Structure 1
């Protein structure tokens, strides 16, 4: 166990933040350009694909080719290498590692409150706080352009996100430790500053999220056989049975249960195993080994659907310190528990066939995300500010919020620099997407629509 950090006063912590400006001036990000000899993005994606399921890799390519934003979602490894080429502040937090705007959304707390927060931690790792801010900013710049926003409006959208981050970090820097830890953003905050169409869209998202639970998932993904047994419906290649035997799954369930707090393990014990299938999810995760597990509680009307996702080394590891966890499933779970205001009660991990690492969570627990493509300019700006605030809250739990607030300061210097970075990166991402589209058209890269 690492030795505890020396105790610093508020003034001393603030001085750490101001000193970080010498290491990486706040305007640094605004001068970012691709490094000379930048790796071919397709080579980066091919290297990732080598250890993925080969029959699913063309689906990943097809999904990434759908649009520049879809490419950005799948290209976390590409962007990680780009971010590492510039000086950083050295102010470390538990990074989400893939903080694009679709990785924010709604989910239920254990108390059944609907919260807004980060919701994907496959790439989580400690690192400089600005990497998450830059990933969010770039995603907003790309999404705004796809929505038909002018360059000026896209610039304002990014500024709203970074301002939301900076102002929220400054607010949290003035609070004590417990108030920061208990801080959360609930569904009402989505509605607080919304009017007209943006409010109606937020209300629709909240209503839809409340309906998305294991009962809804079971109704959509399963069928009842002639002998009355419920099982997942095969819809290859997106969902299909792949030959797990019952004893093997029971062994994995037992290993997973051992990572849960005892009271939650006792809750899991009340369910019996029913079925398992492979399921394709997301954009960047396509090709990794992901499964769904159907459990039954009191009766057939009391299902629990768990998702089991393969956990690999974070895309940030080549550029940051290696994870303190030898097990990447544990890395994901620990990062999520540290960062989220409230976590899934069934979050755990285990080692699967072939020594591969996995983590478990509920497939749907009132989960929902915004339909960014339908947002108005005003709605997108409000959503950007909310994402910035949520990211600041997450970083404040693990990093030195006082030092980060002092580094950022009261002016908009950092905001404008990140907005300039987002503009440059959006252009680079568009070129990378075009490179993939051309490679698919020429037959260099195989792609499928699914």
Structure 2
């Protein structure tokens, strides 16, 4: 016997999606791209490892606009140690995201070589991609959003893209070695040093709404990046997706992966942080989490799997331990938490039944939701124990009739 599950649609007060191509062209016109990029100058454009909506189109449009004013663009994979910290691996990550040389119309320089460009007051060295340093101009492209490990006025965005992305594996490992201090105290000073020593001419900040749609793109001059990123993060936090329940017994996550979140599944959704003290009070309290599979795009990198309580053998068999451990060790002590292997169960059914037993409640009283991943929360499944709360919430709608949770003959969740 399993709980009755209902399909639920969640509505958000979300800003509308924008026309990315039109917006980028307007923004570049506003900041005067033709005066920033000189004819025949080499222009490095960063590309990260996250599944940012429309990112292939955004990169392609930036390439076209740089060419239009006479620049010679190329792409730098900017993702720390992802892809196993190899040029081939990082190009493969971009390929899986749809960022190919053929599509965007520019070559990809995936060298992992870096150069030390200076030191902070605490003598921490600052590293930057050699390819970026040798370019005439650098355009930093990134999504501004809440970070998965810490809370501050600057989290994930253009400044982190400089430090972790352009810093490559060596730069990422250096700042991560400082743990929380690296995030809270060193991220911004490191980005400032990089802007001082690197030909960064422009930033392109992207913000998404609750439906994972591109709703804001803003071009920023270097002197604007820090102040504007702080403002954009406030908006991004307003527009983040949420699980609309404060207390849950079981969360079933169908897929985790680096293209979904830096920690495979976003703690800003699950409330499950590697550093529990970083958890904002408004996030849900979830007793048990089951992760059922990895995304194809994550290329076996299962970092963040340690935040689940149980996984399936299917997920375990897909783990690329080299890439996962490279990511974990680059991230420092917190990475070790994300790389720990939870209890492994043979099938979806075994994993879910285990958590139901541990909940120690009658089946009809278990508060459980099922999501595809932590980026897609507009629709999900919820158990009958949550029915009253769903009906009382004007932003939630039950779609169709409830059905008992079902598994196929192999034990896979249907």
TM-score (norm 1): 0.27
**Could you say which structure has the greater relative contact order, defined with CA pairs below 8 angstroms and 6 or more residues apart?**
1
TM-score (norm 2): 0.28
Larger helix percent: 1
Larger strand percent: 2
